[in-house]
Amino acid sequence: MQTGTVGIGSVFGVPIRLHFTFLLLMVLLMVFGFNGTESGVIQVLYIGLLFLSVLLHEIGHSLVSTRYGIKTIEIIVFPIGGIARLERQPKPQEEFWIAVSGPLVNLAISLALFIYIGNTRGMEAIFQPSDTNLTERLAYGNLALAIFNLLPAFPMDGGRALRSVIARFRSEAEATRIASASGRILAMGLAIFAIVSGQYLMLFIAFFVYLGAAQETMAASGRVLTQGVAVRAAMVTDFRTLSHGQTMRDAADLLLATSQHDFPVLAGDQVIGLLGRNLLLRGLAASGPDAYIAGVMDRDFPRVAPDIDLAEALPILAKSGSCALVMDGEKLMGMLTSENLSEFLVLRQMGFQ
């Protein structure tokens, strides 16, 4: 689960989360969007339908990725679109079709709305929002979403499609650098235009595009550094555990005495759960320090095998949030934590590993 997001439900078993920047944009649209020619109800309806269009866009990605046997971990909705987080990096041919499927959904919605308008009545102008041109604005809004997301620059879908084409002839890292550079150039262009034209909402979008391009570069670098490396090379082997019969007080004392944030819970030699800091704090608040940790620990804890490729373990670790247990069958071998993984990647980048 990515930080800075709020869960709003699930579709086809895939969790849907809103990034805080999307919520901020919705507030800005609500504050500055009302005018004398459009009622508040229609304004809210317009924003809600645009959100639905973005969500359908991401579901399009998810359905195509499922066709290639790639599970979608979660969908995160951002101001200029969304991200369907996949359990593994698609191959170049797979990534191309997964990437373009989202904008194609918006194009289909736009085309359907234009056909409906043409068959029922004439087109109305959209420059002045009103209660009567909602359908037209939705049609053009979906068209704009499709065109914008097809721009060949990260973090848009067009950037992913561009990377997939380049990756057929060059390395993934080089393909990512090219697509990310396009994203940064686009972001700077949008920022300059926003300042010159006074369209300061576009400045917000430019910042998001630049940030997304930088994050994609970092993610791709991480994948390159972890490919061909076994999980056991990056796992923590010096760690403390808890017994299922211990209390919240015992766990809190251990949290303060060590640098660990997550503790495997054992019954004898068998691992039966994982107690993270957030679960511990919630348990303390709800049940008090004398409650047993067995009542709040995660029994369905994430696990990875020690000999699998570290790149394959990254999505599992990302889904869990901060920690996955390294298990050889039912034997606890170590812990794979986001903090230790970051340190491992820094050392590997410097040529230490």
CATH topology (fold) of 231-349: CBS-domain (3.10.580)
pLDDT tens digits for range 90-142: 888 898 999 999 999 999 999 999 998 888 876 665 556 666 778 888 998 89
Kindly give, in sequence order, each residue whose CB lies less than 8 Å from that of residue 303, ignoring residues fewer than 6 positions away.
Answer: 324, 325, 326, 327
Instruction: Say what percent of the chain tops pLDDT 90.
Output: 29
Higher pLDDT, residue 297 or 21: 297
Kindly give, in sequence order, each residue whose CB lies less than 8 Å from that of residue 22, ignoring residues fewer than 6 positions away.
Answer: 77, 78, 79
pLDDT tens digits for range 49-86: 888 888 888 889 889 998 988 888 878 776 666 677 77
HEC states along the chain?
CCCCEEEEEEECCEEEEEEHHHHHHHHHHHHHHCECCECHHHHHHHHHHHHHHHHHHHHHHHHHHHHCCCCEEEEEEECCEEEEEECCCCCHHHHHHHHHHHHHHHHHHHHHHHHHHHHHCCCCCCCCCCCCCHHHHHHHHHHHHHHHHCCCCCCCHHHHHHHHHHCCCCCHHHHHHHHHHHHHHHHHHHHHHHHHHCCHHHHHHHHHHHHHHHHHHHHHHHHHHHCCCEHHHCCECCCCCEECCCEHHHHHHHHHHCCCCEEEEEECCEEEEEEEHHHHHHHHHHHCCCCEHHHCCECCCCEECCCCEHHHHHHHHHHHCCEEEEEECCEEEEEEEHHHHHHHHHHHHCCCC
Residue intervals in the chain for CATH 3.10.580.10: 231-349
pLDDT tens digits for range 133-170: 788 889 988 998 899 889 888 778 888 899 899 988 88
pLDDT tens digits for range 290-343: 999 999 999 999 899 999 888 888 878 877 668 999 999 889 999 999 888 888
pLDDT tens digits for range 239-293: 999 999 999 999 999 999 998 999 999 998 899 999 999 999 999 999 999 999 9
What pLDDT sits at residue 258? 92
